[in-house]
A and B are shown apart, each in its own frame.
Chain A
Amino acid sequence: VTGFLVRRLGQSVIVVFGVTILTFVLTRLLPGGVARAILGTRASPIAIAEFNQANGLDLPGWQQYLFYLNQVLHGNLGFSYQLNESVVDLLRDHLPKTIILLGLSTLLALAIAIPLGVMQAVRRNKLDDYFFTSLSFALYSMPIFWLGLILIIVFSADLNVLSPQGPQGDISTYLDPSQIAALVLPVVTLALVEIALFSRYMRSSMLDNLVQDYVRTAKAKGVSMTGILYGHVLRNALLPIVTLLGLSLPGIFSGALIAEAIFNYPGMGLLFWDSAQKRDFPVLLGVTLVVAIATVVGNLLADIGYAVVDPRVRITE
């Protein structure tokens, strides 16, 4: 296990460095360079030269990269001149809110998708299976912004029961009843799409395991249907879901970005969206780096979790 862990960890570290190189190259690809992106298109050549010198931008590329890497390692992701705040401070405000949104919606999605997938697998090719399959496909192929808008129209505009925008207060006020009510729509929107994805995988994973020999053995042994399902099959069927969770992280982040923009939920996605409108490049690249690193870490955790629960991974690796 240690060998696998060390190798996997090493790979992740390399990938994180790769990501920093990519974001670094992106900053250098900015039209007119970093200076023009920050000082604006009307900056004079003298101002640009001064800025370049002050920020080490007149050095050779590899030195600039090392400088950038050093800054990142010391927790300096740049400064937003549009918001007059360092990117790290902005992230400190916005990231926890996104984590709450993502955590709640993913938990809700798993809580619904796993039993749903099990049920569909057990009752495969029956009417209710077809019904939920159609529903899943409808939700899965639905653009998240459209789903969000429909939910706003139905539950806010027509029924007037839920807030059309997410909680606007500080994270400490989230337990307030009005804030919880405001959280419902963004969380449900994200969860619905995830439910569609996870329940499909859960169903196929269950079906894969239901035809295995150990199920027949368990049946022959006299284990009840519920015992087989929840004692044997479910545990094995959950394995691919662990990997899927890790792999779908980029998609979930993207979904959160759109959901936050629709519901005006002041998380990292909305920050990113607003910065993209204002071409606030330090924020854009800082968020990109954080999201990418979160994805790498998520994948790493998923792989490690998989290796812990499934001995076959450790042996074949």
Chain B
Amino acid sequence: MSTPSISELDSLPVLDARPTAEGGEAKITGSAWKLAAYVFVENRLAVAGLGVVVFMFLFCFIGPLIYHTDQINTDITQFTLPPSAAHPLGTDNVGYDVLGRLMVGGQTSLEIGIIAALLATTFGVLWGAIAGFVGGWLDQLMMRIVDSMLAIPTLFLLLVLAAMFVQLRMSMQEFTRIANDLQGRVDPILLRVNRILEDSEERISSVMGDTAEITRIARGQAQKVDRVVSEALERLRIQVIRADQILTGALEVVDEAGTKFRNTLWRPIRQASAVMKGIKVGLDILRRQQNNKPESDPVSQDEELFI
């Protein structure tokens, strides 16, 4: 690489590794993917990086298949051992094999890392592309939002979020505890109810034998109740009918008066009759409701069936 390619920290080497005009261009045919792959392969640093990632994947996901360790049960007799043939990197403070632990832990790290990178790239590209394409005030707004997010150091944000999730988990545990507590309290009651039911089964069956008698008594009671209710309803009905008659009579009188004094007192009387009519309609509705009641009431229906 020539002198201007300085920074190994940024992507400058990628530019330097572009195929030169004489030999390179002719080889590149086909899709953009092919071109990208070609440029990528030409860049030795990038290939080396890919090699490291591939090695990590093999180490973490294929490694445990070859190098078997128990990463589930602790073995306190084997804690903090120095590296040996059995444990190439030694053991940790609860007896896990450190090399095996690295493999298992590396799986999580790789999964999180790749998912985070994918998400970040997807949203970042969309966000930036929209801001740049639309431009203007939207660009400004979107970039200020990005600036605000960048201003909060990642570690601080992560710790706040972690603390929040611990709190959330504690709330969940509290909820589970309350639920268990409630269940613990309800269960004995249910059990007791169950036992009482079992105990009283015999008594119930003996009672069942007397059902015929009970039914007879019940019928008598029901008839009595029904009589009282229907009497009360009948009385109410009569009251309503009487009120209706009075009102209708009054209206007739008013109407008569109206025909008599139409020329002089027409308007006020019309108003009064309108009020009267309103009251009559209201009473009609009330009466209809009262009349409907006996039919729609299931209790009285049952009682009628009894009779």
User: What residues of chain A have their CB less than 8 Å away from a CB belonging to chain B?
Assistant: 11, 14-15, 18-19, 21-22, 26, 29-32, 36-37, 41-42, 124, 133, 200-201, 203-204, 207-208, 211, 250-251, 253-254, 257-258, 272-273, 275-276, 279, 281, 284-285, 287-288, 291-293, 295-296, 299
CB-based nearest A residue for B170: A41
Chain B: minimal CB distance from A156 (Å): 20
Please tell me if the beta carbons of A279 and B171 are within 8 angstroms of each other in the complex.
no
Chain A: minimal CB distance from B159 (Å): 4
Please tell me if the beta carbons of A14 and B154 are within 8 angstroms of each other in the complex.
no
Please tell me if the beta carbons of A272 and B166 are within 8 angstroms of each other in the complex.
no
In the docked arrangement, what's the CA distance between A37 and B168, Å? 10
- The stretch among B115-123, B143-151, B221-229 that forms the contact with chain A is B143-151
Could you say which of B9, B151, B167 contacts A292, with CB atoms under 8 Å apart? B151
Residues of B within 8 A of A281 (CB): 160, 163-164
Please tell me if the beta carbons of B6 and A250 are within 8 angstroms of each other in the complex.
no
Please tell me if the beta carbons of B156 and A288 are within 8 angstroms of each other in the complex.
yes
In the docked arrangement, what's the CA distance between A211 and B150, Å? 34
Could you say which of A37, A208, A211, A254 contacts B167, with CB atoms under 8 Å apart? A37
Confirm or deny: B153 has a beta carbon within 8 angstroms of a beta carbon on chain A: yes
Chain B: minimal CB distance from A121 (Å): 8
Per-residue A-contact encoding for B120-163, CB less than 8 Å = 1, 0 else: 00000000000000000000000011011111111111011011
In the docked arrangement, what's the CA distance between A200 and B153, Å? 22
Majority SS at the chain A contact face: helix
Please tell me if the beta carbons of B3 and A19 are within 8 angstroms of each other in the complex.
no
Residues of A within 8 A of B154 (CB): 250, 254
Known: A31-B165, A276-B163, A295-B153. 16 other contacts (CB 8 A): A11-B144, A15-B148, A21-B148, A37-B167, A124-B3, A133-B8, A204-B8, A207-B4, A250-B152, A251-B153, A254-B153, A254-B154, A257-B156, A272-B156, A281-B163, A284-B163
CB-based nearest B residue for A197: B9
Could you say which of B6, B9, B148 contacts A19, with CB atoms under 8 Å apart? B148
Interface size class of B (residues with CB under 8 A): 20 to 34
Residues of A within 8 A of B147 (CB): 11, 15, 18, 296
List 13 A-B residue pairs with CB atoms under 8 Å apart, sorted by A's residue number: A15-B144, A22-B152, A26-B160, A32-B167, A41-B170, A250-B150, A250-B154, A254-B155, A272-B159, A273-B159, A275-B163, A281-B160, A292-B152
Please tell me if the beta carbons of A257 and B155 are within 8 angstroms of each other in the complex.
yes
Residues of A within 8 A of B151 (CB): 15, 18-19, 250, 292-293, 295-296, 299
Residues of A within 8 A of B168 (CB): 31
Could you say which of B8, B9, B156 contacts A287, with CB atoms under 8 Å apart? B156
Number of A-B contacts (CB under 8 A): 114
Per-residue A-contact encoding for B271-287, CB less than 8 Å = 1, 0 else: 00000000000000000
Please tell me if the beta carbons of A41 and B171 are within 8 angstroms of each other in the complex.
yes
Residues of B within 8 A of A272 (CB): 156, 159
Chain B: minimal CB distance from A278 (Å): 9
Residues of A within 8 A of B9 (CB): 200-201, 204
Residues of A within 8 A of B4 (CB): 207-208, 211
In the docked arrangement, what's the CA distance between A124 and B4, Å? 12
Q: Given contacts A18-B145, A204-B7, A204-B9, are A291 and B163 in contact (CB under 8 A)?
A: no
Residues of B within 8 A of A253 (CB): 153, 155-156
Chain A: minimal CB distance from B48 (Å): 13
In the docked arrangement, what's the CA distance between A185 and B9, Å? 27
CB-based nearest B residue for A254: B155
Confirm or deny: B75 has a beta carbon within 8 angstroms of a beta carbon on chain A: no
Please tell me if the beta carbons of A276 and B167 are within 8 angstroms of each other in the complex.
no
Please tell me if the beta carbons of B163 and A279 are within 8 angstroms of each other in the complex.
yes
Residues of A within 8 A of B165 (CB): 31
Chain B: minimal CB distance from A182 (Å): 24
In the docked arrangement, what's the CA distance between A123 and B86, Å? 47
Could you say which of B7, B149, B150, B157 contacts A288, with CB atoms under 8 Å apart? B157
Residues of B within 8 A of A285 (CB): 160
Confirm or deny: B174 has a beta carbon within 8 angstroms of a beta carbon on chain A: yes
